[in-house]
C-alpha cells in the first residue's frame, strides 16, 4: 500500500512539474512570437490633448517596426488612474500598454486612495517632454503672470482657473504658484485639456494651466496668450514668454513632465526588452520628429532608467509641495 501511495504521490508531483514547465514554455513561445496581434495603447486624456497626439503619432509609425498596428484607446479620468488600473488588471502579455507622465507616479497617486499598486507598472521608454504654461485669453487684461497674481491678491477667491484634473502636474504646479504668491484662487477641474481650453476661450474661467501643445494653434491664431512656461529657461521658439524660474518659482520648473509608455511589471522580460528596442526605432524615425510641429511638444527619448530617475526627481520636489498644501495622502 505504501508503495502505491508513494507512486501516486510521485505521479502527482511529476504532473505538477510538467504543468509548470508547460506554462513556462508557453510563456517563452508567446514572447518569441510577440507581437502576434494588435497592441492597445491607453491614453489617460481626451482626443486632441498633447499626450493623445503623441500616442497617435507613435501608432502611425509602429507597424513599420512592430509588424502589428497599435490602437490608441482614450480612457480619461482620475488623473490617469483609470487607464493605469486597466493595464494593471489586464493579462501581463504586452498587448495592453499605457502612456503616462512621471507626475502620475510622483504626484497623482499620492493625492488619491487608489485600489492598485502603481509599482505594478514599469517604464518601457520616454518619448516626450511636456511643455506646461499658465494661459489667458489674448484679450484679457493680464499681460503677465504678475498681473494675474496681483489681481488675485486684490480679489481673494475671485480668480478662477482651469486644469485637466486634480493631482495632475498642471494642477499641482499652479497650486504651488498661487500659494507661494499668497493668492486665494478657485481651481476648476475639467475632464481633459481640450475641455479646459474651451472653457478659457468661452470666458467661463480667467486662466488655465495647460499643456502648450493643446493650445499652440490658438496661440498662433492670437486667441490665447501664455503668461509663463513652467520651465527652467525660455524656449527658443517662444523667446518672449518668460520661464517660471525667472519669475521666482523654481520648484515649479522641477515638476516639468516627461511622458513615457508603461507596461505591467509581470510582462515577460523578453517582451519588455523588445518594446524598448522598438520604441527607440519609432523615436528615431523622422516622422516622429514632427511631434513638435503637430503637437507643439518636444520629443525626448529615454530608456527605463531615465524614466525612473525623472520619477525620483519629481517625488523629491512634489511630495513636500503636496504635504504643504494638504493634498498628500501617501502611496
pLDDT in tens, 230-270: 998 998 889 999 999 999 998 888 888 899 999 999 999 99
Strand partners, 172: none
DSSP state letter for 259: E
Cα distance between residue 94 and residue 140, in whole Å:
47
DSSP readout, 12-58? HHHHHHHHHHHHHHHHHHHHHH--SS-EEEEESS-TTSHHHHHHHHH
Q: Extract the C-alpha cell encoding 102.
A: 512621471
Q: Is the peptide bond before 238 cis (omega within 30 degrees of 0)?
A: no
Model pLDDT for residues 272-309, shown as the tens digit of each residue: 999 999 999 999 999 999 888 877 788 999 999 999 99
Summarize the confidence of residues 108-125 as an average pLDDT. Answer: 94
Q: Under 8 Å CB-to-CB from 166, ≥6 apart: which residues? A: 79, 111, 187, 189
Give which of 312, 297, 302 is closest to 124, Cα–Cα.
302
Q: What angle do CA 146, 147, 152 make, to 5 degrees?
A: 95
Residue appearing with cell numbers 493605469: 84
Eight-class DSSP state of 243: B
Contact 282, 58 (CB under 8 A): yes
More confident residue, 229 or 24: 229
pLDDT of residue 19: 53
Q: Residue 185 CB: number of other CB atoms within 10 A?
A: 25
**Cα-flanking dihedrals φ and ψ of residue 2, to 5°?**
-65, -40
User: Mean pLDDT across the chain, nearest whole number?
Assistant: 90
Tell me, rounded to whole angstroms, the distance of Cα 81 from its chain centroid: 10
Q: Give the cell for residue 228.
A: 509663463
- Return the DSSP state at 257: E
Say yes or no to pLDDT of 24 above 50.
no
Task: Sketch out the chain's domains with CATH numbers.
Answer: 37-130+256-324 (3.40.190.150), 132-253 (3.40.190.10)
169-214 pLDDT, tens per residue? Answer: 899 899 989 999 999 999 999 988 889 999 999 999 999 999 898 8
Residue 59 binned pLDDT confidence (cut-offs 50, 70, 90): very high
DSSP state of 205: S
Q: Residue 164 pLDDT more than 90?
A: no
Instruction: Provide Rg for the chain, Cα atoms.
Output: 23
Please tell me the pTM assigned to this model.
Answer: 0.77
Residue 27 pLDDT > 50: no
Amino acid at each position: 500500500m505504501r508503495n502505491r501511495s508513494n507512486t501516486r504521490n510521485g505521479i502527482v508531483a511529476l504532473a505538477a512539474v510538467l504543468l509548470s514547465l508547460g506554462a513556462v514554455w508557453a510563456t517563452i513561445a508567446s514572447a518569441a512570437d510577440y507581437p502576434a496581434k494588435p497592441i492597445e495603447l491607453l491614453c489617460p486624456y481626451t482626443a486632441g490633448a498633447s499626450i493623445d497626439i503623441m500616442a497617435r503619432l507613435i501608432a502611425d509609425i509602429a507597424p513599420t517596426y512592430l509588424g502589428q498596428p497599435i490602437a490608441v484607446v482614450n480612457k480619461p479620468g482620475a488623473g490617469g488612474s483609470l487607464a493605469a488600473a486597466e493595464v494593471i488588471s489586464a493579462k501581463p502579455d504586452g498587448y495592453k500598454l499605457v502612456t503616462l507622465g512621471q507626475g502620475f507616479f510622483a504626484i497623482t497617486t499620492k493625492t488619491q486612495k487608489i485600489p492598485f499598486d502603481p509599482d505594478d507598472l514599469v517604464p518601457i521608454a520616454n518619448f516626450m517632454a511636456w511643455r506646461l504654461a499658465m494661459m489667458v485669453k489674448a484679450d484679457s487684461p493680464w499681460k503677465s503672470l504678475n498681473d494675474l497674481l496681483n489681481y488675485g491678491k486684490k480679489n481673494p477667491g475671485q480668480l478662477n482657473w482651469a486644469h485637466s484634473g486634480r493631482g495632475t502636474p498642471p494642477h499641482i504646479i499652479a497650486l504651488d504658484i498661487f500659494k507661494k504668491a499668497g493668492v486665494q484662487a478657485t481651481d476648476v477641474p475639467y475632464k481633459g485639456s481640450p475641455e479646459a481650453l474651451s472653457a478659457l476661450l468661452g470666458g467661463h474661467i480667467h486662466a488655465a494651466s495647460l499643456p502648450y501643445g493643446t493650445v499652440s494653434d490658438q496661440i498662433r491664431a492670437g486667441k490665447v496668450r501664455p503668461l509663463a512656461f513652467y520651465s527652467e529657461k525660455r524656449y527658443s521658439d517662444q523667446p518672449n514668454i518668460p520661464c517660471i524660474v525667472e519669475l521666482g518659482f523654481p520648484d515649479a520648473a522641477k515638476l516639468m513632465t516627461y511622458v513615457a509608455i508603461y507596461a505591467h511589471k509581470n510582462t515577460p522580460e523578453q517582451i519588455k526588452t523588445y518594446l524598448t528596442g522598438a520604441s527607440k526605432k519609432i523615436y528615431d524615425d523622422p516622422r516622429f520628429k514632427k511631434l513638435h510641429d503637430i503637437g507643439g511638444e518636444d520629443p525626448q527619448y529615454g530608456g527605463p532608467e531615465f524614466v525612473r530617475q525623472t520619477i525620483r526627481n519629481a517625488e523629491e520636489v512634489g511630495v513636500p509641495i503636496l504635504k504643504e498644501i494638504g493634498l498628500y495622502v501617501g502611496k
